[in-house]
Every structure is written in C-alpha cells, then in structure tokens.
Amino acid sequence: MRELYACVHVAEFPAQALLRLRTDLAGEPVVVMDGAEPHTFVCALNAHALRRGAEKGMPRLDAEGLRGVRLLARSMESEAAARVVVLERAAKFSPRIEEVSAGTACAFVLDITGTERLFGPPEKLAERLRDDLGAAGFRASIVVSGNFHAARIKAAWSRGVHVIADGAEAVALAKLPLVALDLEDDPRETFAIWGIRTLGELAALPEVELITRQGQQAKEWRELAWGMLPHTFQPMDEEFALREFLAFEDPVEEMDSLLFVGARMIDALVERAADRGLALSRMTVRMKLHGGTEHELQLRPAIPSTDRKFLLKLLQLQVAAHPPQAMVLNFELTAEAAQSSVVQLGLFAPQTPEPSRLDVTIARLKAIVGEDRVGSPALVDGHRPGAFEMTDFLMDAKAGALPAQRTTMGLRRLRPRLAVRMNFRESEFSDFQTREGRFRVAATYGPWRSSGYWWAIEPWAVEEWDVLAERDDGSPVACLVVRDQISNSWWLEAIYD
C-alpha cells in the first residue's frame, strides 16, 4: 500500500492562539509582541496587520506608530492550550501523528495511509480537516503527499489545500525558495554565490559534483529538493486534557468581560469533550490577580453535562458569589471529563426536574445561606457521635435501589437533642424529665465512654447510656441518653424504633 501523509501547518501561531478566544478582535489588525523590554519585537501578526504595514521583527516603537494596530503580549500558556486543540482536531483523522513545528508555526504530519474508506479521496480528507480546524478558530494549510518531507515543506510555504500526485513532488517543490530547507549560513552563502535560489535549481545540480564540493550532507539536500528523502515516522503519544487559558493585555475587573471569555472557553471544552463522547463533570477556574495572588473557583454539576448555557450559568453564579478581590490578569479553565449520564424513566414515573435546574437552584441557595449550609451530609471519619460535614450534591445515574435488608431496630436521632434533668436514687437512675414529660427508668446499660480532640480548642468527652423507660401513660420507650463530661449536662440523644 502506498504511503500517504497529510501535513497541517498553522502559520502565525502566537497570533492565532490568542485570537481564537478573542472573538471581539475579529477583523482588527493585531500583532503579537515577544522579547524582554525594551527590546520587544513583532513575532506574529494577522493578515489585517500585514496590510497596515506590520512585519515580523518590527520593534515595538515602530509597531505602535501603525494606525489602528492592536499590540498583544505573547502567551506561551495560551499557545500550549491551543496546540492541544490542533492536535485533537488532527487526531480525529489519524491516530499516527508526528510534530514538525518550527519557529512560530504549529505543524503536524498525519499518517493517512489507508484512510480512503473512512474519509474518501485525499482531497476530501484535506478539505474536511481544514474545515474542522477552521471551526476551532484556526487557519491552516493542508498538503497531502506520498513523501513526508515533501508534505512538510510544501505546507510551510503555501496556503490552502494541495494534493501532490505520486511522482510529482519535485515539480511541486521546484518554485519554493532555498531557505525552505533551513540551511546553515555557509552552504546558504555558497549557493547564493552559485546563483541557486530555488529548490528546483538545487535539484538540477549534478549529484556527484554537488557531493564533492559540499560533502555527504548535500545528498540529503538534493533528495529533499526532489521530494525523495525517506523518513522513519515517529508517532506521538499524549494524554487527553481539557484546558483553556487566556492572558489579558489589560487587567480586567468587570464580570461581563470574564463571562465573555468564559463562555468561549466553555464552548471549546464542551465541543472537545463531545468529540470523544464525553461530558464535563467538574470545572476549575483559576485567575491570576493584580498583586500576585490567585483566585480559584470550583464548578461541580450534579451530573456530567454538555449543556453550554447551563455551565455558563453555573460559572456566572459562582463568580457572583465569590468575585475576585482584584483585577484579573489571566483566566484559566480546566475540566474533568466523564461519561454522559442517561437516566431511563419509567412509563408511569412522575416527572422530575432537570438536573441542570437543580444545580442552578443549589448555586442560588448557597449564595443566600452560605456554602457550608447546602449540600449532602456526609459522616466525618472519626469517633465523635453525630459528626458530619456538608459535601456537594452529586447524582449517580447508575445507582439503583438499595438491596432489601431485614432491619430489627433503628436509631432515630433527635435534631436538636433534648435537654434532660436526670434524677438518681442510691446512685442509680430513677427517672428523668424532658420538656415532653417524665420518664421512669426501668433498666440501663452502660456507660460507653468516648472522647477526642483533647489537643484542639473544642475537645469532647461523653458517656452514652441505653435506657429502657416508661412514659406517664405506661407506654415503653428505648432511648439513648448522653452525659457531656465537660459541661456535666445530660441530653436525650436518640430514640430506638
């Protein structure tokens, strides 16, 4: 089977990585500045800035003199997040991918050998790949060839979609400049003296004489110019991670601006997760604030979701409940992916509210009464009786009814517990009184003593008694009576049913 490669080349990647999340800058001339002050320079730009006279390597002072051109600072974290998006889009067409990025371009070569049955002819695959990248906010050139290096070089020096026919590699590369080979200074100057400026002119040189004058490496240059240099494919293996990052050129203090960026990030994360049949189960928002501090928020929907409007509403409520205390310098959104939850309802089962409405309601209740007063109670891993904490409310679609168990006795805790006045006769319990009446003690079992947190501010120490008693009307009752050893007070803690 004939080998076939497709090269994806995203030029001006620092600019494209920033602009894909900044839809408000669409149509504006933008340049990206790199370097340390005061020697910053233009490292990438869009087509609008190029028409205004901007060019790579231009110092900051000259770039500021261009009318209407926006200057953005380069963000390596934004480029790292955008690179993952390009890689994921390419992986939809082939699992075998090798990175060939160079300079300010992001480039990958896909091994598409044998994919005709899935995507059709190479022309159709290249067009679908370009459109898919375009939907993610990237302009890329796609070149398909039977030679790895021919596809790589042609994609770096062309625009649009190109398919190089088998055996036509030399013709496709002939008009490209010699700098496409990225030669060192000495051979480049030698070729300039010889008048060799294109790959076609290099390919036309006699092989033996060329190797005699330039050494054995000249054979590799000539094979590159002919599109015949072999290559051992080295596929990548990267983990799937959902992360978006954007650094603001000016500090942001308005919530609407944060939500505008957050909405675009949520759209991107949902789309990437949906491509793998997954949903977002948890999101973490990190903001770097003016002054060096960080602000972190957690968004935990009850069930994994791909509803963009619902996730954005959760973000809005969380930011409103916990606003940043200073201006925001950058905004990062990461997410954990999980299987989508599908609940099969019975034909006659009553209709229940949508989980998204429950999440929004819980978020609003937390904003009113406090974070620690809404959720699901969870037992604390300790010996203190009745100790629990509030955790986030989560639904498990796979959880079914509990298996039938034979229960002989249940313990019903009183919330709040009742104060008890305990009476003794000859050092034995005789009766006790609560606000509900008087109880005559028939039998007692105990005490069971427990204590803890003696090293903390709020230690505890209790004695527990199981008591059989009778009410005034003669009805029996079994209860749990507790003595607080620190305050020497008695409490009716629970009733046995």
Q: What is the pLDDT of residue 369?
A: 77
C-beta of residue 328 within 8 angstroms of C-beta of residue 420? no
Q: Is the pLDDT of residue 67 over 50?
A: yes
Coil, strand, or helix at residue 374? coil
Range in 49-53, 413-417, 461-465 the model is least confident about: 413-417
Structure tokens at 341: 């939850």
**pLDDT tens, position by position, 332-388:** 999 998 887 665 666 766 666 666 677 777 777 877 777 777 878 888 877 777 777
Instruction: Domain 5-166: give its CATH code.
Output: 3.30.70.270
Q: Between 474 and 286, whose confidence is greater?
A: 286
Q: What whole-number distance in Å separates Cα of residue 326 and Cα of residue 328? A: 6
Q: What is the mean pLDDT of the chain?
A: 89
* Domain 243-341+353-398 is found in CATH 3.60.20.10: no
Structure tokens at 454: 């003696």
The pLDDT value recorded for residue 404 is: 59
Does the structure show a pLDDT above 70 at 446? Answer: yes
- C-alpha of 286 from chain center: 11
pLDDT of residue 473: 86
Torsion angle, CA of 286/41/56/130, rounded to 10 degrees?
0
What average pLDDT score do residues 136-164 get?
A: 95
Residue 121, pLDDT > 90, answer: yes
Contact 240, 337 (CB under 8 A): yes
Whether pLDDT at 431 is above 80: yes
Long-range CB contacts (within 8 A, 24+) of 198-205: 198/174, 199/153, 199/173, 199/174, 199/175, 199/224, 199/225, 200/170, 200/173, 200/174, 200/175, 200/225, 202/178, 203/170, 203/173, 203/174
For residues 130 and 154, give the distance between their C-alpha atoms in angstroms, rounded to a whole number: 16
Which of the four CATH numbers 3.20.20.140, 1.10.8.100, 3.90.1010.10, 1.10.150.20 does domain 172-238 have? 1.10.150.20
What residues does each domain of the chain span?
Answer: 5-166, 172-238, 243-341+353-398, 411-496
pTM exceeds 0.85, yes or no: no
Q: Is the pLDDT of residue 397 over 50?
A: no
